[in-house]
Structure formats: structure tokens, C-alpha cells
Amino acid sequence: MALPEGDYYGMPDQGVKIGRGDVGELCTPETVRRTVDAGEIEMFQSVLRRYLPGAHGEVSSTLTCLYTMTPDSHFVIHSHPSDSRVAYACGFSGPGFKFAPVVGEVLADLIVGGKTAQGIGFLSAERFKRSPGA
């Protein structure tokens, strides 16, 4: 839900699961903050009170999660520069799970046949290469 307060998502889950995809802290799996503070809980509660009052209630659990983001928020799908038997895909950020079947297909095409019928040019890792002198 794109709200004035930000991008929220949610689903029924023994009550309601609510999350936010447009804010976060730059971190690694080693440095991620695994606690959700009172201000963040109030942020979610106030959105529920305003837009889904029937779903507003006691907090049963909190969780932080990790996204891998690229600078342009598009995925990376690429063959290894020096070993065509290796291909990789990453940077799926928020919406990646639903693409898993086609990404798996593309990676198999690249490894087995060195090419794919899917238009993946815009997902090449080359797009982040610095131009000489940049």
C-alpha cells in the first residue's frame, strides 16, 4: 500500500503481519540490528489505527529482515566473466521471490547453453562498471 506515511505491506497471519519496504538501515548479516524499537512499533500501530482499525491490537512478535539492494533496485543476472559454467543472480530486494522460477530458468539456460531467450540485458552487472576516469 503506497500511503502518505510510506510503502506498507501486510497480510493475514494469526492476526495481521505488517511491514515496510521503503525504509531501512544499510547493514550486513553481521551488523543487522535485530531489535524493533518502540518508535517503529508505534509507526505500524498508527498506520493500522488509521487505515485498518479492525486489525489494530496487541503486538505478538516483531522481526527485522534483510534485503539485498542494487544501486538501481533492479536485479543482477550475469555469467561469470572467466568461467561460463558459472552464472549468478542477486540483488532481488523486496519483490524477488515471485521471480524465482524464471530466474532459475535463466540461470540454467546461461550455464547449459551460454545464452537465454529472456531479455536480461538490463540486468547485467556491467551496468555498474565505472567508466574509465569516473
Work out which of 10, 45, 74, 94 binds ligand FAD, going by CB under 6 A: 94
**Which of 14/131 has CB closer to ligand FAD?**
14
**Which of 61/131 has CB closer to ligand FAD?**
61
- Give the span between the Cα atoms of 113 and 57, in whole angstroms: 54
Cα–Cα separations (whole angstroms), residue 108 to 1, 21, 84, 93, 96: 34, 30, 12, 22, 18
- Give the span between the Cα atoms of 91 and 71, in whole angstroms: 9
Work out which of 6, 15, 95, 104 binds ligand FAD, going by CB under 6 A: 95
Minimum distance from CB of 134 to ligand FAD (Å)? 27
Contact between residue 110 and residue 116 where contact means Cβ atoms under 8 Å apart: yes
- Give the span between the Cα atoms of 120 and 100, in whole angstroms: 14
Work out which of 44, 92, 107, 120 binds ligand FAD, going by CB under 6 A: 92
96 scored as a contact of ligand FAD (CB under 6 A)? yes
24 scored as a contact of ligand FAD (CB under 6 A)? no
**Which of 101/132 has CB closer to ligand FAD?**
101
